[in-house]
Amino acid sequence: MALKHLTDEQIQEYLDGNVSGKSWFAGHLKSCGDCKEKIDEYSSLYSALEVEEKIGLSARFADVVISKITAQASVTPGFQIWQIFLAVLGLGVGLATVVYLIGIKSMGKLFTGLGEFGKISSSVLAIIGNYFAGINLNFGLLGLAAFALVFMVFLDHFILQPKQRALSFFR
Amino acid sequence: MTNSRELIKKIISGDTHAFKSLIQDYQRLVCHVIFKMVTNEQDREDVCQDVFIKVYQNLSKFQFDSKLSTWIAKIAFNTGINYLKKQKVPLFDDVSGENGALEKYWSEETSPDGFTQERDLTCRLQHEITKLPVQFKTILTLYHLEEMSYTEIAEITGLPDGTVKSYLFRARKLLKEKLIAKYQQEELWH
Ligand SMILES: [Zn+2]
């Protein structure tokens, strides 16, 4: 019967310790120089693969990591310019919508009862009202206001709240 | 497991000494993963730092579904992959291909360098390993240096168990052939 040589896969399985018990391996290896040689080659490779390379990080590695984390944690949740812009836009749209819906004159009457402060407020309101009346407000603005509101809720839920949670973790 | 539970609890409650000891326990593992992926020496330490920062940030999400070492190695592997993507390093994504695909990927330099003049087997091998695709390098390292199982390596690399085994066997076969070819040229083998 012609002997079948060991395949590369069988040799690797053998060296990995996945060939259990008395197998035909041992018998074949005793009589086959070719396979013995192949096993030796793989053994040398395995030994070389297990040699630890000189790997090292700087002595202060852990301290640097910790100081980086502490630095990140001490940063108060700052606002980006686009976040401030969106907030101002949202407020503007909201105010404009209120003015549009209630009507500038009834709003003015509301403030006249409040003396000097009311006068100032109503004149400021009048300016804002005239401005918005000048640009011909319509229901499109309402849609925009609704959109801005939904957008801000989304912003708060998915960006600002997780940011707060992440930061509270460091404290 | 109980020890790492206590350690994690301490870290989450803000004990920096506990985190420092976690770094010391796992920096060898992180180095094994990152140093095989990141060749630029200056970037290596930065990437290792990023790994531990991510570990810290996500520690409260660790549910003990796996060993802490597997979880940390997975973060390291993903951080390394993101780094390589940023560096536009081509990643080997042929899962089914036979040795031909790996052979094609193999980059053979034409110019001689310091390593190829080196006659020591370990140095030769390290040099040959650098030419392997990143997943193959990681698998070899985790299997031979960290003594991890196929299942653990599969979890870290996101590859199926069978693929991990196949990549490991193909990598060793190719390395053996490359080394023998080199040594035979110089009649150094044995
Ligand atoms: Zn044989």
Q: Smallest Cα–Cα separation from B23: which of A116, A62, A72?
A: A62
Q: What is the mean pLDDT of residues B108-130?
A: 68
Q: Is the pLDDT of residue B187 over 70?
A: no
CA distance B120 to B43: 28
Interface touch A65/B189, C-beta < 8 Å:
no
Distance A4 CA to ligand 1 centre (A): 6
Does B27 touch chain A if contact means CB atoms closer than 8 Å? yes
Q: Which domain holds residue B180?
A: 4-189
B91 falls in which pLDDT band (50, 70, 90)? confident
Q: What is the mean pLDDT of residues A47-70?
A: 91
Q: Is the pLDDT of residue A38 over 70?
A: yes
Residue B187 gets which letter from DSSP?
A: T
Predicted pLDDT at B3: 83
**Residue A170 C-alpha, separation from nearest chain B C-alpha, in angstroms:** 7
Least confident residue range of A50-54, A136-140, B111-115, B182-186: B111-115
CA distance A98 to A91: 11
Question: Does A150 lie in the same domain as A83?
Answer: yes
Least confident residue range of A164-168, B102-106, B165-169, B182-186: A164-168
Distance B144 CA to ligand 1 centre (A): 26
Other C-beta atoms lying within 10 Å of the C-beta of residue A45? 21
Q: Smallest Cα–Cα separation from B38: which of B2, B73, B5, B87?
A: B87
Question: Does A23 lie in the same domain as A88?
Answer: no
Asked whether residue A135 is domain-assigned, the answer is yes
pLDDT (tens digit per residue) in A140-155: 667 777 777 877 777 7
Question: Does A81 lie in the same domain as A39?
Answer: no
Tell me how far CA of residue A116 lies from CA of A103, A107, A109, A120, B42, in angstroms: 21, 16, 13, 6, 67
Does B136 touch chain A if contact means CB atoms closer than 8 Å? no
Predicted pLDDT at A1: 43
Mean of all residue pLDDT scores within chain B? 86
CA distance B161 to B151: 6
Identify residue B132 by its one-letter amino acid code: L
Predicted pLDDT at A93: 77
Question: Does A162 lie in the same domain as A116?
Answer: yes
**Residue A110 C-alpha, separation from nearest chain B C-alpha, in angstroms:** 52
**Residue A22 C-alpha, separation from nearest chain B C-alpha, in angstroms:** 23
Model pTM greater than 0.80?
A: no
Question: Does A81 lie in the same domain as A42?
Answer: no
CA distance B140 to B129: 9
Q: Is the pLDDT of residue B153 over 80?
A: yes
Q: Is the pLDDT of residue A122 over 90?
A: no
- Is A132 within 8 Å of A99 (Cβ atoms)? yes
Phi, psi for residue A103 in degrees, rounded to 5: 95, 135
Identify residue A122 by its one-letter amino acid code: S
Q: What is the mean pLDDT of residues B79-97?
A: 79
Higher pLDDT, residue B119 or A35:
A35
Question: Does A158 lie in the same domain as A86?
Answer: yes
Q: Which domain holds residue A96?
A: 77-168
Question: Does A40 lie in the same domain as A105?
Answer: no
**Residue A64 C-alpha, separation from nearest chain B C-alpha, in angstroms:** 8
A170 falls in which pLDDT band (50, 70, 90)? very low
Name the residue of chain A whose CA is nearest to B45's CA: A57
Distance B190 CA to ligand 1 centre (A): 19
Predicted pLDDT at B146: 96
How many domains is chain A built from? 2
CATH assignment at residue B119: 1.10.1740.10
Interface touch B189/A41, C-beta < 8 Å:
yes
Question: Does A97 lie in the same domain as A22?
Answer: no
Residues from chain B that touch A65, judged by Cβ atoms under 8 A, are 23, 49, 52-53, 56
Other C-beta atoms lying within 10 Å of the C-beta of residue B118? 13
Predicted pLDDT at A61: 95
